[in-house]
Amino acid sequence: MVTPQALLTAARQQLVQILGLPADEARVDAQTLLRHVLGVSRAWLIAHADEPLGSELLTHFNHLLQRHLQGEPVAYILGNREFYGLDFSVAPGVLIPRPDTETLVEAALRLIPETSTGEQKDPLRILDLGTGSGAIAIAIAVNRPEAAVTAVDQSEVAVTIARQNAEKLGTTNLRLLQSDWFSALGNEHFNIIVSNPPYIADADPHLSQGDLRFEPASALASGPDGLNDIRQIAATAPAHLERGGYLLLEHGYDQAERVAGLLKEAGFTEIGHATDLAGIQRVTLGRFL
């Protein structure tokens, strides 16, 4: 007789031993897979930890576990990932939304009033560069329904997935375009531009580890120091910002000072940072006056 508790214990041990995951991460991954197979909540697993599981369920779980033990991310196996309280469909053509990126969403939302004021007659125009699954743009659009949000990505696959997510989540104030950064936007201007661009150095060993092995390299790596795309965005964003507008960029844990320097070189002022839950400067922003 195999119970949920016994199955999860064995799966966690395998994930720690084979993938080298931290015990807490291995536990969450195993629970997520089993909850998917059973169609139950975490509370149900706890309450029914000692009940026997049927053979078909065991076979299904073990099949998914083997895929994960080979390195395939849980989000790709299940086809979805929660981000900012919303359920997003994900696939190998887009990055997996991560909790760190919620810092970028929160920083943007602080700059966007929940309701329009007498001074702001037209909706604020928001642009998300390199939208991937659409997680950032959709989270902003859902939480600020009066804003006019545009999201672009050079990948046709990404735009398709983002559009599916927008439809699934009932987003009505979002426009999606296939574009290599600003290339398809003409001389359009925005009040706020946000981006989680590639920012990992080409030779970074992490690119051959964990989930990153399965995610699109073009959305991860950006030159010898990881800053090629951020340089390009910082240099070209002023041509697409209204006066007084903001540019917000997510970056690596040790890149805040260098990104701030790039924004300063591009003419941005009021440069600041937003920190993630671990206290790491994860987002750098500047204002174009």
Structure tokens at 19: 């993938």
Q: How far apart are CA 169 and CA 163, in angstroms?
A: 10
62 with 122, same domain: the answer is: no
C-alpha dihedral (125, 122, 270, 229), degrees to nearest 10:
10
pTM score of the predicted model = 0.89
pLDDT of residue 25: 86
87 with 46, same domain: the answer is: no
Q: Which of 46, 70, 94 is the last residue of a domain?
A: 70
Number of domains in the chain: 2
Q: Which of 31, 48, 70 is the last residue of a domain?
A: 70
Residue 85 falls inside a structural domain:
yes
pLDDT per residue as tens, the chain (289 positions): 799 999 999 999 999 999 888 888 899 899 999 999 999 998 998 899 899 999 999 999 999 999 999 989 999 999 999 999 999 999 988 988 989 999 999 999 999 998 766 565 689 999 999 999 999 999 999 999 999 999 999 999 999 999 999 999 999 999 999 999 999 999 999 999 999 998 777 766 665 666 666 666 666 666 778 889 999 999 999 999 999 999 999 999 999 999 999 999 999 999 999 999 889 999 999 999 9
Backbone angles phi, psi at 125, to 5 degrees: -100, 120
**Domain housing 42:** 4-70
63 with 119, same domain: the answer is: no
* Angle at CA of residue 215, ends 230 and 31, nearest 5°: 125
pLDDT of residue 208: 60
Q: Which of 40, 70, 100 is the last residue of a domain?
A: 70
**Contacts of 170 by beta carbon, 8 Å cutoff, 6+ apart:** none
Q: How far apart are CA 82 and CA 96, in angstroms?
A: 10
